[in-house]
Amino acid sequence: MKLINGIEIAQQVRDDLIPRIDALRKKQIVPGLGVILVGDDPASQSYVGMKGKAFDSMGLFSETIHLPAESSQAEVLELIASLNRNPQFHGILVQLPVPKHLDSTAIIQAISAEKDADGIHPTNLGKMMLGVECPLPCTPHGILMLLKYSGIDPAGRHVVVAGRSNIVGKPIASLLMQKRPLGNATVTVCHTRTQNIREITRQADILIAAMGQPELIDRSFVKPGVVVIDVGSNRIDDPGSKKGYRWVGDVKFEEVAEIAAAITPVPGGVGPMTIAMLLANTVFLAEHSTQNQ
């Protein structure tokens, strides 16, 4: 069994960005990201902190604007508009989820497609579907890079995506089926309402687990020799640990690892890749902003 180490591969992605960042610096351009955090959700604060550290480590500019949880839709949209106009910010990201009284769809659409660091603006998702160059959704793009740097070519293989979210399931299915490098796969999408789901997942040469169900996927869901990409990040109670909880994926790691050809751990698998691809998207947007000037 091969352990697909997301921490190591994320570092390779960062290393590949260095020449591009240096080329921008020669033009007096420092790729910049504006992050909007609404409210005080601890997980969101942690994610935003990790993103800030990643940008600092690469010598890139990032700024987090923290709004109170009770901020109105108009206040959030006004802030986005100001960041859209500010040339210091090549990318904008609104940390999700936002408080329930806010319309996240309208907020995402308010971000300029040319500054969409998360790759989830409708314009960019449409370009992605057509195979047109654009910033790709960070987690799906990170999954592709995990496969690339692990020497796993999905072409001609049966990929089963367990999960249909707009953030992971739908975009990774679209990318993998396209006629492109790291594509050309036969893709099946299943979800919590799929009947006989085990019969489908056991057909997978590559299984991408993104259902948000802690340790749902056990060895009965997979065939020997499968490649497993576990996107899940679930906090479960664990009285035996110092913190009283631990993080697990959607896959029962120890069970499935016994028969898998390759598998990602949680933590340390897909998570670091999502942040690495946010860096990559911000660099991409900075490069394209100079081309449009």
Rg (CA), the chain: 19
First-to-last alpha carbon distance for the chain, in angstroms, is 49
What residues are annotated to the active site?
A: 51, 95, 118
Distance CA 82, CA 67 (A): 14
Q: Is-contact 212 233, C-beta < 8 A?
A: no
CA distances for 103 relative to 71, 74, 77, 89, 98, angstroms:
12, 10, 10, 23, 8
Distance CA 276, CA 61 (A): 15
Read off the tokens for 292.
């449009």
| DSSP-derived 3-state class of residue 231 | coil
Residue 154: CB atoms within 10 A of its CB come to: 24
| DSSP-derived 3-state class of residue 94 | strand
Burial of 276: CB neighbours in 10 Å, binned 0-12, 13-18, 19+: buried
